[in-house]
Amino acid sequence: QKEVEQNSGPLSVPEGAIASLNCTYSDRGSQSFFWYRQYSGKSPELIMFIYSNGDKEDGRFTAQLNKASQYVSLLIRDSQPSDSATYLCAVILGTQGAQKLVFGQGTRLTINP
């Protein structure tokens, strides 16, 4: 089982709709979770992080974490064409002083005007 798994897509969503991206992880002890966005030909950039169970909202983005089920999701409300990108889920693995960020395969999202 991969440490972090995502549906690679592509996921196609009409403009203005809600885009829902999902991720599961294997290490039950993981505490920190991140969503990165990567435009084609660019480097990944952090858009959200979440540490606690429940929802965390930032503008049009909401991250949801369920540690019991070992999944984390990202919702994008009022999707815009500029949201078209690959979204990478990442999880911190390891112990204090030796922690590494491991990424899922990424989900390619396309917002259709």
Binding site for another protein (CB under 8 A): 32, 34, 42-46, 49, 88, 92, 94, 97-106
Asked if omega into 10 is within 30° of 0 (cis), the reply is: yes
Residue among 32 and 70 whose Cβ is closer to another protein:
32
Distance CA(76)–CA(62), nearest Å, equals 7
Least distance CB 16 / another protein (angstroms): 30
- Cα–Cα distance measured from residue 101 to residue 94, given in angstroms and rounded to the nearest whole number: 9
Tokens of 41: 């030909």
| The pairing of beta strand 71-76 with beta strand 33-38 | unpaired
Q: How far is the CB of 59 from another protein (least distance, A)?
A: 17
**Residue number with CB closer to another protein (18 or 46):** 46
Residue 104 CB, shortest distance to another protein, in Å, is: 7
Identity of the residue, 45 or 55, whose beta carbon is nearer to another protein in the bound complex: 45
Pairing of strands 54-58, 98-103: unpaired
